[in-house]
Amino acid sequence: MTEQTDIRELVRRRYAESARQIAVSDAGSCGPGCCAPADGSVDDADTFGSSLYTEAEAGDAGAALTGSLGCGVPTAVADLHEGETVLDLGSGAGGDVLISARRVGPSGRAIGLDMTMEMLDLARRNAVEAGVTNVEFLQGYLEDIPLPDGSVDVLLSNCVINLAADKDVVLAEAARVTRSGGRFAVSDVVADVDMDAATRVDLAAYTGCVAGALTEQDYRDALARAGWTDVEVRLTHRVHEHAQSAVIRAVRG
């Protein structure tokens, strides 16, 4: 197996298990697939998951957010408008998709992309229970998004891009499906420049969103190479002794 498929399968297995546990328990906990590192982590209930969302931000998507594995609230900074088409990369249980669907209204559309069938099943169930109809959940990979060129107004993701083995490919694909002038509004983990080599090579940490994270400058450079402009990186809170969560925004050139 290549490094990319190795990492992809590792991530898929762990997030599939998380989806199964969420579906069975509905306990609202992040579960073993949570995007929280096992070693060197910050012991803080507000670091990952649904607790990052205020009641107003969550709206009626609360049930879907109980399965959130994210490190931020990308919908809070996406400035969504009526009629827009929104794509969430690595949509998980569908919380950010449901929030987006409400904000873009009946004339808009919210699409979730995930590689894990267990998460897609959970997201579709959550959409039905929330009564949200202007949504669609697709199975696929961040490196090969099954949508036409320029078909998306806003690109969201919540602590997922860092899990990909080749961020350049992911960011280029994101740019391909986003129209010129469209927006990139992502919460992700950003590595400190002094992250040690042992953490970087630990494959297990990929499912904790740490080993695969880019530094802020590397993230800026990768976005620029993919055709994104007006890049903004705002650090929000520490998630690991070697990494922080960040809001990352950009415009499709």
DSSP string for the chain: --HHHHHHHHHHHHHHHHHHHHHHH------TT-S--SSSB---TTSSSGGGS-HHHHGGGHHHHTT---SS-GGGTS---TT-EEEEET-TTSHHHHHHHHHH-TTSEEEEEES-HHHHHHHHHHHHHHT--SEEEEE-BTTB-SS-TT-EEEEEEES-GGG-S-HHHHHHHHHHHEEEEEEEEEEEEEE-TT--HHHHH-GGGGGGTSTTPEEHHHHHHHHHHHTEEEEEEEEEEEEETTEEEEEEEEEE-
CB contact burial 136-153 (16+ within 10 A = b; e otherwise): ebeeebbbebebeeebbb
How far, in whole angstroms, is CA 156 from its chain's centroid?
7
Which top CATH class is 3-252? Answer: alpha beta
Evaluate whether 57 touches 38 at the Cβ level (below 8 Å). Answer: no
| Spatial separation of the C-alpha atoms in residues 24 and 150, rounded to whole Å | 38
pLDDT, residue 195, reads 86
Q: How many CB atoms lie within 10 A of CB 130?
A: 20
Q: What pLDDT does 119 receive?
A: 87
**Low-confidence residues in the chain, pLDDT < 70:** 1-69, 201-209
Amino acid letter for position 193: V
Q: Within 10 A of 9 (CB to CB), how many other CB atoms are there?
A: 12
As a whole number of angstroms, the distance between CA 246 and CA 213 comes to: 11
pLDDT at residue 196 in the model: 83
Report the pLDDT value the prediction gives residue 65, as an integer from 0 to 100: 63
pLDDT of residue 134: 98
What is the predicted pLDDT for the residue at 198? 79
